[in-house]
Chain A
């Protein structure tokens, strides 16, 4: 898994690339929880995530809950059908704000 963090138009954007699994989810957790603390509005861009499992999902939930707890906003960018499928299995498609691309997330203001 690779990652990039950048700031754009008032949003912190964390771009994750590759597979988020038992091996890589601790790294994803560290990145996401660290960025949640710094940002008022966080976009987690998973458009290039090719696989996610329950450990990756747990990481997303933890970041989401931390953001809610400290009054920050967070949304997800997700396109890969395999990743969308796992979010749906976890019923997070009805909990998370999920957008097709960064522009639409910014347009909706998360």
Chain B
């Protein structure tokens, strides 16, 4: 995963590579949901992360690749200590980090909500060039209790 070294307490949850096409997103959501559910997280957290990943993939298709194509998107989800770390890699030309700024929210109008959703449901969202020199890396982090801590509250 790029230049990120191995964290002593990291655990890979999902790695999935797929073409940058809208029809792939349903399957991507399904396997993300299944992988997170299998680890025992509460459905509210799972649905928030599924939404953030879906919105991130839409942004990659629309703004990085400028439309659907066969070029890949690679999704990694890891647990690092008490954080779920989501990394999405593409092979598109570099995009400006400004593309992740949500629009002003005063107007009720269609469009431009994806970045707003991502920033609302995740604790940290950033985008930058891939260290390989080709493509972009979109990274999102959400602090989570471990599933065992969740179940102790129920």
Q: Which B residues touch A57, using CB under 8 A?
A: 110, 113
Q: Would A89 and B22 be within 8 Å (CB), given that A54-B114, A59-B110, A65-B109 are in contact?
A: no
Q: Which B residues touch A53, using CB under 8 A?
A: 51, 54-55, 58, 114, 117
Contact among B26, B48, B110 with A19 in the assembled complex (CB-CB below 8 Å): B26
Interface size on B, residues (CB 8 A): 25
Alpha-carbon distance A82/B43, docked complex (angstroms): 9
Q: Which A residues touch B111, using CB under 8 A?
A: 54, 58
Q: Which B residues touch A11, using CB under 8 A?
A: none
Cβ of A95 within 8 Å of any chain B Cβ, yes or no, is yes
Cβ of B121 within 8 Å of any chain A Cβ, yes or no, is yes
Interface size on A, residues (CB 8 A): 22
- A21:B109 contact, CB within 8 angstroms: no
Q: Which B residues touch A92, using CB under 8 A?
A: 108
Chain A residue nearest to B33 in the complex (CB): A51
Shortest C-beta distance, B64 to chain A (Å), equals 14
- A54:B113 contact, CB within 8 angstroms: yes
Main secondary structure of the interface of B (DSSP, over half): helix
Q: Would A21 and B22 be within 8 Å (CB), given that A53-B55, A53-B58, A54-B117 are in contact?
A: yes
Q: Which B residues touch A59, using CB under 8 A?
A: 110
Shortest C-beta distance, A30 to chain B (Å), equals 14
Cβ of A55 within 8 Å of any chain B Cβ, yes or no, is yes
Alpha-carbon distance A59/B51, docked complex (angstroms): 17
Q: Which A residues touch B114, using CB under 8 A?
A: 53-54
Q: Would A21 and B25 be within 8 Å (CB), given that A54-B58, A54-B117, A89-B117 are in contact?
A: yes
Q: Which A residues touch B108, using CB under 8 A?
A: 61, 65, 91-92, 95
Cβ of A90 within 8 Å of any chain B Cβ, yes or no, is yes
Cβ of B101 within 8 Å of any chain A Cβ, yes or no, is no
Alpha-carbon distance A61/B105, docked complex (angstroms): 14
Cβ of B61 within 8 Å of any chain A Cβ, yes or no, is yes
- A22:B51 contact, CB within 8 angstroms: no
* Interface positions of A (Cβ within 8 A of B): 19, 21-23, 51, 53-55, 57-59, 61-62, 65, 82, 85-86, 89-92, 95
* Interface positions of B (Cβ within 8 A of A): 22-23, 25-26, 29, 44, 47-48, 51, 54-55, 58, 61, 105, 108-114, 116-117, 120-121
Known: A86-B117, A89-B116. 6 other contacts (CB 8 A): A22-B22, A53-B54, A53-B114, A58-B110, A62-B110, A85-B44
